[in-house]
Amino acid sequence: MTQVRKIKVKLQRFDPNISAPDFSEYEVPVEPGSSVMNVLTYIYENIDSSIAYYTSCRIGKCLGCDMGINGTVDYACTTPVPVDDDLTITPLPEYVRVKDVTINRARPKRPTGKKPVIA
């Protein structure tokens, strides 16, 4: 039998036409082994279909789903949900934001070759 627990997810939201960035909180059930991408998909499909995030390969090859996960840069598709912690998801600050945690990879705000850092 799989144990399901609930975690609090803070997702940084941003709409360029409406307001400044802010956080929305969601309570999400997670099973052991769930990834951050599973959490985002659950929110989109069951709670709030207005969130925007990027997903493609789901195996860490396309490098498109990197974002701030609890203060570090990692890939949402391969990062497991923390066992004993809630989750905070933010976009990469070095890029121009499109909406929520979706960024425009063609428009970095940082010099080329510099590793992303979450402040």
Name which of 41-45, 96-100, 109-113 the model is least confident about.
109-113
47 φ/ψ angles, rounded to the nearest 5 degrees:
-120, -50
118 part of a folded domain: no
Q: Which helix (H) or strand (E) holds 69?
A: strand 66-69
119 part of a folded domain: no
Residue-level pLDDT at 58: 77
CA distance 32 to 94: 32
Q: Are the C-beta atoms of residues 21 and 88 closer than 8 Å to each other? A: no
The residue segments making up the domain with residue 59 are 5-108
CA distance 89 to 87: 7
pTM equals 0.85
Q: Are the C-beta atoms of residues 33 and 4 closer than 8 Å to each other? A: no
CATH number for the domain spanning 90: value is 3.10.20.30
CA distance 96 to 20: 14
77 part of a folded domain: yes
pLDDT, tens only, 23-44: 999 999 999 999 999 999 999 9
79 part of a folded domain: yes
Residue with more model confidence, 25 or 106: 25
Name which of 26-35, 40-49, 99-108 the model is least confident about.
99-108
Q: Are the C-beta atoms of residues 109 and 119 closer than 8 Å to each other? A: no
27 part of a folded domain: yes
Residue-level pLDDT at 3: 84
| Tally of domains within the chain | 1
